[in-house]
Amino acid sequence: MSTIIQLESLKSELETELYDHVLPFWEKYSPDYENGGYFNCLDRDGKIYDSTKHIWLQARQVWMFSKLYGTVHANQKWFDIAKLGADFLIDHAKTDNHRVYFATNKEGQGKQIQRKIFSECFYVMALNEFGSISGQQRYITEAKQLLTHIWAWTKDLSKVGQLSYPGNTPSQSLAIPMILLNVFEEVGGRNWMEYESEIMECIGEIKEHVDHKQQLVYETVTPSGEKINSIEGRLLNPGHAIEAGWFLLRWAQKLGRTDLQELAFQMIDWSYTLGWDTREKGLFYFLDADGYSPTPLEWDMKLWWPHTEAMYAWMLRYEVSGQQADLERFQEVKEFAFTHFSDPAYGEWFGYLNRAGETTHRFKGGPYKGCFHVPRALYLCIQSLEKIGQKLV
């Protein structure tokens, strides 16, 4: 089979999964046309088992449907679903002091705020993307104003409730610079230079989490990039490091930085190789850098999102490198994901497996799983295949 035919077949397979099996699940079961927003706690068959609305998932779904409408097809249904969520966010998600709820009830009354910035980050991405497709500047203005507050909070996390005590070792998390790289890419768009200094600072912080000698990407280090000899300091999250790698690889292409490209390649390769379960296949959730037993009880579970992130990371690497080995790695993780997570009976994907690859939780949507990682990865992989195909013609 020629490479072009092989890639066309793969693209068709991913399109079927996205447009026939994944998106229809969310289109049918998640919209709350009475109160606005989406139901995101959905059982295997789409039944609502909790009406709580988790705002970071509401925002991710707005972003997803907006992105599809703006870049794939101007499907009025996608626009209407995106607007349903965007207006719910505007009306209910934010507090008077610029914080964004982690969860509300179905009517939009606040239930919980986290001591983190991630609900705010996805709120920004959602409103920016919907503002782009709707042509309504108020959504974009709201997004950019909140992004200013988020950046300020990253300099003093006590502003979002993260207090430090005398016994704490000063630390920084990989999650913050990596998510902000993604936010700046989305909000900045073609005018990303507006955020150039912030972007370079995020890239610099990510570098501090990479240990070239050990070939590891640490979740938590000191502000100067030193390792912390503790449970938290030794914790590795292969899926997270892989996701950070592809965020960085996209910026390497924008900036024309071969050094960043090589670093991104290494982050993806090292984290995937270390995280891949050679006995049962699939990616471990957590590992300990020094080989101790990871303390999170779910450490050896196989979760949906590290696999979707690995799918796109290897596809993007293949797009950039053209190396057959990168495509083979993509195929390896794709085959595991499609075989174990995808649900041909009811659509969408299961989220949680034990080490042996058996489903442990039957729901399709919950407080931490929504309409995001699966459709985003499929969408991005399809985009990459289209670019690769254009090069081969």
| pLDDT-derived band at 302, boundaries 50, 70, 90 | very high
Q: What is the mean pLDDT of residues 199-228?
A: 97
Task: Please check the confidence at residue 317 and state whether its pLDDT lies above 80.
Answer: yes
129 within some domain: no
The CATH number covering residue 264 comes to: 1.50.10.10
Q: What is the mean pLDDT of residues 11-17?
A: 98
Contact 106, 35 (CB under 8 A): yes
Give the pLDDT confidence of 163-207 residue by residue, as tens digits.
999 999 999 999 999 999 999 999 999 999 999 999 999 999 999
Task: Please check the confidence at residue 242 and state whether its pLDDT lies above 70.
Answer: yes
Coil/strand/helix, residue 271: helix
212 within some domain: yes
pTM of the model: 0.98
Task: Please check the confidence at residue 17 and state whether its pLDDT lies above 80.
Answer: yes
Question: 234: closest CA among 252, 250, 213, 218?
Answer: 218
159 within some domain: no
Q: What is the mean pLDDT of residues 322-335?
A: 98
- Burial of 197 from C-beta contacts in 10 A (0-12 / 13-18 / 19+): exposed
- Burial of 18 from C-beta contacts in 10 A (0-12 / 13-18 / 19+): buried
Question: 247: closest CA among 154, 155, 149, 177?
Answer: 177
216 within some domain: yes
Q: What is the mean pLDDT of residues 6-20?
A: 97
41 within some domain: no
The per-residue pLDDT for 3 is 87
Give the pairing type, strands 172-173 and 220-221: antiparallel
**In which domain, by residue range, is 325 found?**
169-362
Say how many domains are in the chain.
Answer: 1
- The CA distance from 61 to 327, in Å, is 29
111 within some domain: no
* Residue 293 structure tokens: 């037993």
214 within some domain: yes
| pLDDT-derived band at 296, boundaries 50, 70, 90 | very high
Looking up tokens 């936010």 gives 183
* Residue 372 structure tokens: 């995001």
339 within some domain: yes
Q: What is the mean pLDDT of residues 114-136?
A: 98
